[in-house]
Amino acid sequence: MLQPRSYPAFIAKALVLENEPFEAMVDDDNPWIEGFALVAAVGLLAGVAAAVGSFLTALTLPAPESLYVTLLQGGRQFASASALPPAEVERIIAEIWAVVALVTGYAGGWSHLLPILSIPSFAILWWLFFGVLAFGVGRALGSHASINATFGAAALIVAPLILFVFNIVPFAGPNPALIGVWSLLIGYRAIQVSQELEWHKAAAVTLIVYVVGLFVVAALVAAFGIGYAAGGAR
């Protein structure tokens, strides 16, 4: 049975690497569903906080059109001062502007709401990826845990996303590396508890999952870069 009222305590305890929330998730009557609900809830909270923060941050800045025109002017002056072709400098500014304005929500419109979709989606995808791979690698290293239990405990890897609440205040926010490494430590504890592995095997499983994850992300970024360079986004 879903127990969302326990989620704040689970998250607070998972952040300090206590065993209790991992054990509670493993012993749940349906760890998979409980895990999915927890990941979705935390992801949605983080997404809403990031969306509100992006909206407020954009309000603290000048209108995007004025800022863009001023940047272009500066770019032209910089080009003439450094003997660079002005058209090339303008093109670089325009391309960077397009990506930054969309990702940060500064472009306005629906782009402010992007984190409400992107953060929970990414959290769920990462949890599924982590759970499946941790289960497989754990089995290969001698674990006898079920995939259901692994998914339940692994759901707590999203706990550091709670720090996105700080994003509500303009220009505040956690370092992505902090989220990644804290999540890794929690993932290690989740594997240790759910798969009952020795510390070095649990560490190996966690690192293998992260290394494979990094390769997948690098491949996606490279594919996006090649597609963008080929004119796919224009």
Partner 1 sequence: MSSQTHVVLPDQIDREDWLRLEHWLPDLQQMWDAAFLRLSDAFDPYERGEITVSMRQGIGMIFVLGLAAGLLPLVGNLWVSLRAGTAAPLAAAALSLAELANAYAGAPALNVASNTASLLAGIEPRMPGFWAALLSSLGLWLNTPLSWLSSWILYGAFVVALARLFGATNRLQTFFAATSFTAVPMVLTGLAPLPLLGPLAVVVAWIWAAIVYYQAVRYVTRLDPVRTLLCMALPPMVAVAAAMVLALFVALVARIG
**Contact footprint for partner 1 (CB under 8 A):** 6, 9, 12-13, 15-18, 56-63, 66-67, 70-71, 73-74, 77-78, 81-82, 163, 166, 169-175, 177-178, 181-182, 184-185, 189, 199-200, 203
Task: For residue 63, count other CB atoms closer than 10 A to its CB.
Answer: 10
The continuous run of DSSP H or E covering 101 comes out as helix 86-104
Distance CA 129, CA 213 (A): 8
Angstrom distance (rounded) from CA 99 to CA 90: 15
CB 139 within 8 A of CB 19: no
State in angstroms the smallest separation of the CB of 79 from partner 1: 9
DSSP 8-state code for residue 170: T
Q: How far apart are CA 175 and CA 107, in angstroms?
A: 23
Question: CB–CB of 192/202 below 8 Å?
Answer: yes
At its nearest, how many Å lie between partner 1 and the CB of residue 147?
25
Residue 90 or 146 with smaller CB distance to partner 1: 90
Q: Which two tokens stand for residue 127?
A: 């949890």
Q: Which of 58, 145 has the CB closer to partner 1?
A: 58
- The least CB distance from residue 155 to partner 1, in Å, is 18
We find the least distance from the C-beta atom of residue 17 to partner 1, in angstroms, to be 5
Q: How many CB atoms lie within 10 A of CB 185?
A: 15
Residue closer to partner 1 by CB (options 147, 173) is: 173
Give the residue with the Cβ less far from partner 1, 99 or 181. 181
Among residues 36, 183, 1, 137, which one has the least CA distance to residue 145? 137
For residue 175, the Cα-to-chain-centroid distance in whole angstroms is 11
Q: Which is nearer to partner 1, 189 or 197 (CB)?
A: 189
> From the CB of 78, what's the least distance to partner 1, in Å?
5
**What minimum distance in Å lies between the beta carbon of 178 and partner 1?**
4
Closer residue to partner 1 in complex, CB, 178/222: 178
